[in-house]
Each structure stands twice: as C-alpha cells, then as structure tokens.
Amino acid sequence: MNMATMKDNAYENILEINNLRTSFFTDEREVKAVDGVTYSLPKGKTLGVVGESGSGKSITALSILQLIEDPGKIVGGEILFKGEDLVNKKESDMRKIRGNEISMIFQEPMTSLNPTYTVGQQIGEAYKIHEGLNKKEARKRSIDMLKLVGIPSPEKRIDQYPHELSGGMRQRVMIAMALACNPELLIADEPTTALDVTIQAQILDLMKDLQERLGMGVVLITHDMGVVAEVCDYVAVMYGGQIVEYADVKTLFHSPKHPYTVGLLNSIPPADQDIDGDLPIIRGTVPSPAEMPVGCRFAPRCPFATELCRDNLPLLETDEKGNQIRCWIYTDEWDGDPEVNVDDQRTAQSK
C-alpha cells in the first residue's frame, strides 16, 4: 500500500495495542513478560517507549512482529496495524508484512547483519522478496538507499562486508535495510546504544529526517529520556511489563504524574548547570517478571506507597485528552496524603 492510499484510510492510528499479554512458560510457572500493555501511535508520529531494562519494552516490540520464540507466546490482547489484528495472522501473512509494511532496527547491528553477505546483498534481499526485482535492479535501489542514509561512496560500500564498516555505518546499513520497502511503521530498538555520542546524534537526526520525509510511524524503544525529548511526539512509560503512563511528550516532561516517570526525569543530568554531587536515583531494582509484587509493580520503590498500593494493582485510567496513568494517587480510592503532587514527588525522589 502506498502512502497516498494509506492517508485515505479511515483509521486514525497506524498502531493500536490493546491489553497485550505475552508470557514465557516453564515447567513450574507462567512468566508474564508483557502484562496488559495498551498504547497507540497516530499515523506519521513517533512514540518513545521508555523504562529500565526488564520492563518489557523489547518483548512488546517483538510481539508486534510475531517474533516471540518458544517457550514464549502471545496469550491475549490485540495488535491492530492499520486496523487489522496481527495476533491471529498466519506466519505466511506475517512474512509479507515484516520488512515491507513494518520494519525493525535492532540494538546491535553486528549481531543482526549477516557477516557472510555483503551490504548490498542484504539490502537487496528485501527488494527481491517483496518487490520481485532482479539482481541488477535490486543493486541500483540498494545504492540509492545507502545514499539516502548518508553513507559516502555507496557504489564502493555496497560490496563490503559488515566487519569492514564502522559501527555508525553498520547502523546506517540497518536503517537502509529497514526502510528499503518504504514501511509504514518502523520499530527501532535502542538504535544508538552501542554508538559514541557524536554518531548517536547523527543517527537520531537521520531517523527524524527520514520519518518526516517518508511520513511513517515510528516506535522508538529507549532508556534515554533526552533522546525522547528530542525526537518523540508521544511517550509510553513501561514498568514491570505494564504501561504506567502515556502522554504527549510536552505533557509528560512538563507535568509527569506517575512516581516512576518523575524518577526517570529526575535522573536526567541538567544541561545548563554543573552537577554537584550524585544525580538522584530510583532506589531499588526492577522486579523479576517471575516474582512480581502483588499490588502496584512500583510500590516497593515508591516513596508514596501505602497499603492500598502494596496490596492492589491499579488500573490504567485514560483522561479526556487520551493521556493514561496507572497510579492510585489519582483515584478516589487513594488513602495516602491527599496533597501529594508532582513537586512533592520531585522533591522526595531527589533526596
């Protein structure tokens, strides 16, 4: 489907995830890695999915593409792409979607690129599979893609192997592969983690420019709130396999609600002043998916948690603007200090 046709469709969101549950099964138990995740991405926008390692960000992304390996399995919920549920699609149908309508950039290009094939062979494969191009046509399109992602001397680089390229160039090759067939949705899983700061900035600028030019939706998985502030339109904060807060980027950075979101924002180094002493941290550790707390997943680390929080899991509530929050503080049942607000949270968590 081309971009013009896509814009004519009635659906507002390119992606909607509703109560997604993905588990891994052992002989002893079911481990709920993703437990009721719900979020949406409007067409042509960028959603940042943030949270510490182990929060379920990558498993959610792999679930979208049905790339969960045994003993993992999607056990419930919906993944609506252009209004169609991907959860029950056959593998043959998903193969037509992966790399064509939905593409993914993985965290470490050296483990994602095949060391025995040239750059050109790996990019050209998408053109052969999804567009039926011959070898010569696929090579020409591959060179064009290398130019698009800013790789110098693409006519030379196309015949090189991944180990002959720098880390930044390999990541650009991954982006070229992902964008080869003009996908309508791009999932980028920590695409700049292994790169130095200068190359990180270049890759993020490139992704933002291509997203705006091609009009695709982007799900950017990261732990870096600074990156989110720079490139995202919306933010979904994950903790313990669940969404704890979802909002547009301006609202989330200026008026965060969930204590975990406040903790993440407090931990960003100030850009306009010297750091005096240690940065604030969120004390404690992310719970294991195999041993989740009974109540709120964040309660053991939250400075405001009460018995209500420790014993009962709050629901994900949506306000009139579409922003979401999973926290007892913002409900009628809250039994703690009724005057708790964002400023109190920031003060308490910075000590």
The tens digit of pLDDT for each residue in 173-207 reads 988 888 888 899 999 998 877 677 887 888 888 88
Query: If you average pLDDT over residues 230-238, what whole number do you get?
Result: 94
- The predicted structure's pLDDT at residue 6: 39
pLDDT of 3 over the 60 cut: no
Instruction: Report residue 299 CA to chain centroid gap.
Output: 24
In tens, the pLDDT along 55-100 reads 999 999 999 999 999 999 999 999 999 999 999 999 999 999 998 8
Q: CA–CA separation, 314 vs 326, rounded Å? A: 6
Query: If you average pLDDT over residues 1-20, what whole number do you get?
Result: 68
- The predicted structure's pLDDT at residue 106: 81
Query: If you average pLDDT over residues 1-7, what whole number do you get?
Result: 40
Instruction: Quote the tokens at residue 130.
Output: 């999804």
- The predicted structure's pLDDT at residue 76: 96
The beta-carbon contacts of 270-274 under 8 Å, at least 24 apart in sequence, are none
Q: How many helices (H) and strands (E) does the chain have?
A: 14, 12
Task: Give the chain's mean pLDDT.
Answer: 87
- The predicted structure's pLDDT at residue 126: 86
Confidence of residue 22 (pLDDT cuts 50, 70, 90): very high
- The predicted structure's pLDDT at residue 12: 84
The set of residues, in sequence order, having a beta carbon less than 8 Å from that of 279 and lying 6+ positions away, is: 266, 267, 269
* One-character DSSP codes across 101-161: TEEEE-S-HHHHS-TTS-HHHHHHHHHHHHH---HHHHHHHHHHHHHHTT-SSHHHHTTS-
Query: If you average pLDDT over residues 141-164, what whole number do you get?
Result: 92
- The predicted structure's pLDDT at residue 67: 94
Q: What is the pTM of this model?
A: 0.87
- The predicted structure's pLDDT at residue 319: 87
Nearest partner of 324 among 260, 237, 266, judged by Cα: 237
**Helix 135-148, helix 119-131: angle, nearest 10:** 120
Range of lowest pLDDT (155-169, 201-215, 233-247, 332-346): 332-346
Q: CA–CA separation, 235 vs 232, rounded Å? A: 7
Query: If you average pLDDT over residues 35-51, what whole number do you get?
Result: 95
- The predicted structure's pLDDT at residue 4: 40
Higher pLDDT, 213 or 273: 213
Range of lowest pLDDT (15-24, 203-212, 228-237, 269-278): 269-278
- The predicted structure's pLDDT at residue 7: 42
Q: Widest CA span of the chain, in angstroms?
A: 69
Q: CA–CA separation, 85 vs 89, rounded Å? A: 7
Q: CA–CA separation, 347 vs 275, rounded Å? A: 17
pLDDT of 8 over the 60 cut: no
CA angle 207, 209, 210 (to 5 degrees): 65
pLDDT of 306 over the 80 cut: yes
pLDDT of 5 over the 50 cut: no
- The predicted structure's pLDDT at residue 274: 58
Q: CA–CA separation, 310 vs 234, rounded Å? A: 29
- The predicted structure's pLDDT at residue 282: 87
Q: Tokens 């750091």 appear where?
A: 275
- The predicted structure's pLDDT at residue 201: 83
Burial of residue 186 (number of CB atoms within 10 Å: 0-12, 13-18, 19+): buried
Omega prior to 293 cis, within 30 of 0: no
- The predicted structure's pLDDT at residue 112: 78
Q: CA–CA separation, 98 vs 108, rounded Å? A: 19
CB distance 287 to 293 below 8 Å: yes
